[in-house]
Amino acid sequence: MGFQIGGTTLDFLVLAILRQKDEYGYTLTQKVQLILEVSESSIYPALKRLQKNGMLSSYDSPFQGRNRRYYKITTLGLEALEMYSLEWNDYKNKMDELLKGEFKDEKL
């Protein structure tokens, strides 16, 4: 059983992986799949969306007679990753409180 994920979660994960180092599509897919149950066909549209929004750039590099397309996080991508990280920590803390029976719903 896995949790359903949205595009934002996938974007967050891709940006977090690429913050560590540039990756080409196949290895990036493998790393994402270690964390989320997601099809390869979901990852490439996310990469294109992130590129279109200026959060990623790409470049080709030859490898064994073929070109590999590598993805690199941009400054805008790093800024988005920071925002996603803050939002994730808030969400995670609330879920942890809820699961421990410590959630405070005083605002309701």
53-77 tens-digit pLDDT: 999 999 999 999 999 999 999 999 9
Domains detected in the chain: 7-99 (1.10.10.10)
Q: Which pLDDT score, from 0 to 100, does residue 80 have?
A: 97
Q: How far apart are CA 104 and CA 39, in angstroms?
A: 37
Tokens 């270690």 appear where?
A: 34
**Dihedrals φ, ψ of 35, to 5°?**
-105, -40
Residue 78 has what pLDDT? 98
Q: pTM for the full model?
A: 0.85
